């Protein structure tokens, strides 16, 4: 595991990991972060606008309304909208796409609620170590209300959940959802928290909140492959996917990058060691 930055030393060696705050799609559930991506493509298509899967993945990690705003700013997509409507997209258009997107996302999120291998075991291990489990998502609360009970059947039950539309301050890449977890969980030091995410805005969120950050290279948005598609790649192609994703995640500020949540215990052990030695993120 390669470090992006060398942290400063602390004056005390008594710190320990207090909480781990997870993203959802591509991190705990939905290997490849497929559910939101295809729905963006479908929602825009319903307005006669073609959005590629690669374009749809670009702003992943933002709140869904902001994601739509960012897509409408992509030159190729903006040009299509002008051709269709005769004007640039405005807030009313963003609202219209968002309202079209929401029922489609609610209807489909359950199809992608399967946990990523190792996620439940990692959450169990954290609780055994008395480490609190937070979470936040770009999904709105209406989507999370569908996803949460389905995930709970598979033992994916964080101690706290913040949805992407719940905070007046906004979402990623700002620190607000991560810090809302800190407050709700009663954490005493943000520097003893770890943010785990598969998107660059999610890593930025953790860094801005003053936390350790762990990026996921193969299970989430940066690679965007199903388990089966990834397994079908030869070693060289899979290594290229890993390297490309890791570069983007490190560039956004990740302290560590691992393949998936199943590999998190090793990264956490290293963070715990560094905290015990007085290092800070």
With beta carbons less than 8 A apart as the criterion, state whether 217 and 242 touch. yes
Catalytic positions are: 23, 64
Cα Rg, the chain, nearest whole Å: 19
In DSSP notation, 108-163 reads HGGGG-PBPTTHHHHHHHHHHTT-EEEEB-SS-HHHHHHHHHHHHTTT---S--B-
Q: Which long-range contacts (CB under 8 A, 24 or more apart) does 160-164 make?
A: 160/132, 160/133, 160/134, 160/135, 160/184, 160/185, 161/135, 161/136, 161/137, 162/134, 162/135, 162/136, 162/137, 163/136, 163/137, 163/139, 164/62, 164/63, 164/64, 164/136, 164/137, 164/138, 164/139, 164/140
With beta carbons less than 8 A apart as the criterion, state whether 13 and 276 touch. yes
DSSP-derived secondary structure letter, 278: T
The two tokens of residue 225 are 């492959």
């Amino acid at each position: 595991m390669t470090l992006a930055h060398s942290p400063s030393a602390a004056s005390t060696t008594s710190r320990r990991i207090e909480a781990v705050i997870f993203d959802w799609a591509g991190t705990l559930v939905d290997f490849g972060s497929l559910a939101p991506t295809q729905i963006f493509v479908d929602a825009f298509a319903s307005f006669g606008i073609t959005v590629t899967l690669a374009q749809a993945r670009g702003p992943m990690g933002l709140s869904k309304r902001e994601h739509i705003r960012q897509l409408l700013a992509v030159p190729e997509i903006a040009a299509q909208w002008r051709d269709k409507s005769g004007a640039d997209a405005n807030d009313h258009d963003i609202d219209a796409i968002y309202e079209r997107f929401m029922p489609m996302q609610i209807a489909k999120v359950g199809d992608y609620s399967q946990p990523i291998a190792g996620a439940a075991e990692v959450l169990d291990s954290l609780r055994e170590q008395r480490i609190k489990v937070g979470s936040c998502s770009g999904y709105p609360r209406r989507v999370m209300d569908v996803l949460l009970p389905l995930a709970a059947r598979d033992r994916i039950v964080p101690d706290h959940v913040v949805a992407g539309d719940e905070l007046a301050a906004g979402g990623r890449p700002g620190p607000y959802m991560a810090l809302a977890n800190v407050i709700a969980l009663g954490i005493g030091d943000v520097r003893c928290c770890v943010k785990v995410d598969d998107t660059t805005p999610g890593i930025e969120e953790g860094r801005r909140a003053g936390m350790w950050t762990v990026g996921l290279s193969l299970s989430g948005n940066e690679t965007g492959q199903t388990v089966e598609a990834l397994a079908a790649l030869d070693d060289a192609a899979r290594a290229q996917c890993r390297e490309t994703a890791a570069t983007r995640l490190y560039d956004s500020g990740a302290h560590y990058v691992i393949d998936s949540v199943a590999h998190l215990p090793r990264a956490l052990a290293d963070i715990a060691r560094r905290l015990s030695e007085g290092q800070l993120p």
